[in-house]
Structure 1
Amino acid sequence: MPEQTIYAQQHPAVSDCMPAPIVVGGGINGLSAVRSLAQAGLSPLVVVTSLFDVAAVSRYARPVTAGTFDGETLLNEMIRLRSRLPQGGALIFAEDDPLLALSPLRDRLAPYFDFKMPSHQLLLDLTVKERFFQLAQQNGFPVPRTLLLRKYSDLAGMNDLRLPLCVKPNSHTKTYHDLFKKAYRLDKRSVARQLCERILDTVGEVIVQEWIEGPNDSIYFSLCYMDEPASVAFTGRKGRSWPPQIGITASCWPAQDIAQELEDLTIHFFQSVGLTNGYASMEYKRDQRDGRFLMVEPTAGRTDGQVEISALCGINLCHIAYCDAAGLPRPPLELDPHHVWRDEFRDFLAARKLRTRLSYPPGYQIHNAFWRWNDPAPALLQSALNSKMALGRVFDMVFAEHRGNHPLEPETFNQSHTRRP
């Protein structure tokens, strides 16, 4: 179905005497939050490290350039921003870097801005995979069997895990991502051991867990805005990810049939670990062997890249968060489940990789993550960035071949699942 303009001209609750909505962080996460707020009639400021950011160039955003997302520097820049906002501002975090930079400085930030976020220790616990799986297992939540390796002697524990195996980093570091794939699916213990040894030599730790069997569209997510006494949630299903089964959402739509089950499970998990306010989400995969939903990865304190699907379907989590932070009544909620959100660039690549058609639920309205007729700049910028990246990969391959280097290839270590938008 053709796209329609769904943005309000001005929400009745928004006026010059209200705090400014401020999205902290850019990329697809920031753009998704900006457009969610625009749907509610809000024109948010977006704090980014570069004006050449897809969120910053949206017609609905007012860009604010921060020199860096380093803690003290970012805090000082945010305080200077506050001096230009007579009515203050309500913060919505869209990326981990600024969130984790400002979280330990929250007491110094709080006099200047309205925001809600979990405790700093809880943010750290839910960012590190091994700690998350410990918390889930301790509280009886369904997760795949997981092993943290920190030394060669730990490799013996892999014999107790069922094949195939998933190998991925325990935490996100530049060293890991410069040298390895986001995750790997491995059918042989000997190959898994070889890969783990290499990662241990380079990074010092690695996660190994049992692979969850199932196709790419067996991945689901519950996006939540946690609050006492009334949390709000939206549940969706991924059509495709890029890279398949490993990366961020390429396309998604509502999953009403299992929404209640996953939302109850998600809210219960976060409440059990003490996260009772702010953004939180959980990704699941349905194991085709027994039909169980297993938790794959949480997000805490910030929005996900596909958060706009909630707004498109009438459950605008970004608007709810803004209203709560600004002390405004929450907007009315009415689910309209007939919408698809897709990252048009990655969805095309995923379908091509999977050798499938770009198929979606019939009769649903499709909304592109980047291209909109009434907001074209993000797509134009993303196209330029994609072209630059593709040329860079070609150069790296030619340079590596010239030097005789042979990086790890998917044929040697098959990719597995996990993502971090």
Structure 2
Amino acid sequence: MKIGNYPLHHGGVGAIRSLGRLGVPMYAITEDRWTPAALSRYLRGAYPWPTTGTEPPEQLVEGLLRIGRRIGRPSVLIPTDEEAAVLIAEHQEELKGEFLFPRTEPELPRRLASKRGLHELCTQHGVPSPEAGFPQSYADIETFAACARFPVVVKNLEAFVRRRRPAVGGTTRVDSAERLLALARGWGPSPGVILQEYLPREEAEDWIVHAYFDQDSTPLAMFTGVKVRSWPPHAGMTASAYVVDNPELADLAGQFIKQIGFSGIIDLDLRFDRRDGRYKLLDFNPRMGAQFRLFENEAGIDVVRAQHLHLTGRGVPEGEQRAGHRYLVENIDLPAFAAYRRSGYTTPHAPTHACDTELAWLARDDLKPFFTMLLRFVRPGVKHLFQMWRTHRGAGAPRGTVRRDEGTSRPGEGNS
């Protein structure tokens, strides 16, 4: 299940392939019939349902129940974004007749998906996280700017605002008080942002944890890895990552989940700060992460397979994770590779060579999603260049003049 318009979502394709290859009938909510997920050979049925994330929850629940009745038997429900995870948790009673999903405290996923809620939980349970401020007004931002050490990071307070009118387009580094105050003038009386300590990339490493926890918050599958590249650089979704064993990080994640009592799949982003030797929790995604196929144990279990086995009353085979395995997202790793090479940044814990590599889109046994991705990824860029050419030609601009088109689209827009 997904809410919102992001058709180039490799995580959904990964889930369809992961279970579909084992003979599990797979169904998906898609933006239209021509998304990569909708054209996977392992998809039994696509349900085109364009949503924005601004619909009333009752409307979304009723639409989901209609799909469940059309499928005709209990189905394991896998959310691919925060909105879907929160909707499922807060409407468990209505959905439990048609779907199987981990039962957790109804309000917990919303708190975890919120920057403020996550920061409060980290503080409450002694989990390291970057220092943060939550301004309620422009005056609060002025006070912060007067004593803060720059640069700082600005993020939207709630994950859900990306479907509406976010204050910033994503994780944004701000290098001076003057720049922060200039940005804040456009945020209105209620800024809706978190002002966070900047952890310099020269002194930090990005780590990820994926796991599945049962109703007692016991991990049935637990994986750790290091993020090598992301797009946008150092602040966006994973473009390249390796599996790296990290027992300390696994213990930290397991203890935190036990303390808060969460059940289900998690996707955590942490940054290791070499200045104080601590892992600091940046993001908690209470759902399947787009790069979950990076991780699989020796028994062939990933977090999606673990959830399916557990919710259908079967045991989850144990095994060591495949250390050295690499994952690449083709459409975003190429620009990420170029950006990281220019900056000279490297990840110390990344293996020199991968023992094997899994691509997010290209698979020999399921080629249509890859070629569909290419068409949908390239077309907006070509269209934008054509529009720029027409504008330039129609305006009669002299040779050498460059015009800025403010309507630039972001190919492959999605969530991490």
Mapped to 1, the partners of 2:388 and 2:153 lie a distance apart of: 26
Distance of aligned partners of 1:201 and 1:392 in 2 relative to their CA distance in 1, 3 Å threshold? farther
The DSSP-based 3-state class of the residue aligned with 2:76 is strand
Cα-to-partner distance string for 1:252-274 (whole Å, 9 max, x where unaligned): 11121xx2111111122222223
Aligned position for 2:188: 201
Aligned length: 384
Mapped to 1, the partners of 2:341 and 2:368 lie a distance apart of: 30
Mapped to 2, the partners of 1:252 and 1:365 lie a distance apart of: 12
Aligned position for 1:304: 289
Aligned position for 1:234: 223
Mapped to 1, the partners of 2:406 and 2:375 lie a distance apart of: 26
Which deviates the most, 310-319 or 380-389?
Answer: 310-319
Q: 2:353 aligns with which of 350, 362, 368?
A: 362
Structure 1 residue ranges without an equivalent (≥5): 1-22, 410-418
Aligned: 1:251 with 2:240: yes
The DSSP-based 3-state class of the residue aligned with 1:120 is coil
Cα-to-partner distance string for 1:61-104 (whole Å, 9 max, x where unaligned): 22321434554444334434444545422212222333334443
| Mapping for residues 177-326 of structure 1, pairs under 5 Å | 177=166, 180-198=168-186, 200-201=187-188, 204-215=191-202, 218-227=205-214, 228=216, 230-231=218-219, 232-256=221-245, 259-275=246-262, 277-300=263-286, 302-311=287-296, 314-326=300-312
Cα-to-partner distance string for 1:207-236 (whole Å, 9 max, x where unaligned): 111101125981111111112263121111
| Mapping for residues 91-130 of structure 1, pairs under 5 Å | 91-130=77-116
Partner AA of 1:240 in structure 2: R
Partner AA of 2:176 in structure 1: K
Q: How far apart are 1:237 and its partner, in Å?
A: 0.8
Mapped to 2, the partners of 1:56 and 1:97 lie a distance apart of: 21
| Mapping for residues 15-54 of structure 1, pairs under 5 Å | 27-54=9-36
Partner AA of 1:249 in structure 2: T
* Conservation of the 8 A alpha-carbon contact between 1:340 and 1:366: yes
Mapped to 2, the partners of 1:202 and 1:368 lie a distance apart of: 45
Partner AA of 1:150 in structure 2: Q
The DSSP-based 3-state class of the residue aligned with 1:201 is coil
Q: 2:364 aligns with which of 351, 373, 376?
A: 373
Q: How far apart are 1:185 and its partner, in Å?
A: 1.5
Partner AA of 1:75 in structure 2: V
The DSSP-based 3-state class of the residue aligned with 1:92 is coil
Cα-to-partner distance string for 1:329-352 (whole Å, 9 max, x where unaligned): 223434322321110111111011
The DSSP-based 3-state class of the residue aligned with 2:188 is helix
* Conservation of the 8 A alpha-carbon contact between 1:315 and 1:335: no
Partner AA of 1:247 in structure 2: G
Mapped to 2, the partners of 1:407 and 1:215 lie a distance apart of: 33
* Conservation of the 8 A alpha-carbon contact between 1:216 and 1:239: no
Aligned: 1:90 with 2:90: no
Structure 2 residue ranges without an equivalent (≥5): 396-402, 409-413
The DSSP-based 3-state class of the residue aligned with 1:330 is coil
TM-score by length of 2: 0.82
Mapped to 2, the partners of 1:209 and 1:326 lie a distance apart of: 41
Mapped to 2, the partners of 1:374 and 1:158 lie a distance apart of: 54
Mapped to 2, the partners of 1:117 and 1:385 lie a distance apart of: 36
CA-based RMSD of the aligned residues comes to 3.2
Aligned: 1:164 with 2:146: no
Aligned position for 2:315: 329
The DSSP-based 3-state class of the residue aligned with 1:270 is helix
Q: How far apart are 1:361 and its partner, in Å?
A: 3.6
Distance of aligned partners of 1:352 and 1:176 in 2 relative to their CA distance in 1, 3 Å threshold? farther
Q: 1:388 aligns with which of 376, 379, 388?
A: 379
Distance of aligned partners of 1:168 and 1:230 in 2 relative to their CA distance in 1, 3 Å threshold? closer
Mapped to 1, the partners of 2:387 and 2:190 lie a distance apart of: 22
Which deviates the most, 137-146 or 159-168?
Answer: 159-168
Mapped to 1, the partners of 2:78 and 2:332 lie a distance apart of: 25
Q: How far apart are 1:166 and its partner, in Å?
A: 0.7
Partner AA of 2:205 in structure 1: S
* Conservation of the 8 A alpha-carbon contact between 2:199 and 2:273: yes
Aligned: 1:59 with 2:41: yes
Which deviates the most, 33-42 or 206-215?
Answer: 33-42
Distance of aligned partners of 1:109 and 1:408 in 2 relative to their CA distance in 1, 3 Å threshold? closer
* Conservation of the 8 A alpha-carbon contact between 2:211 and 2:265: yes
TM-score by length of 1: 0.81
Mapped to 1, the partners of 2:238 and 2:41 lie a distance apart of: 24
Q: How far apart are 1:184 and its partner, in Å?
A: 1.7
Q: How far apart are 1:126 and its partner, in Å?
A: 1.3
Identical aligned pairs, as a percentage?
Answer: 22
Mapped to 2, the partners of 1:144 and 1:55 lie a distance apart of: 36
Partner AA of 1:29 in structure 2: G
Mapped to 2, the partners of 1:175 and 1:340 lie a distance apart of: 35
* Conservation of the 8 A alpha-carbon contact between 2:218 and 2:258: no
* Conservation of the 8 A alpha-carbon contact between 2:205 and 2:271: yes
The DSSP-based 3-state class of the residue aligned with 2:34 is coil
Distance of aligned partners of 1:338 and 1:209 in 2 relative to their CA distance in 1, 3 Å threshold? closer
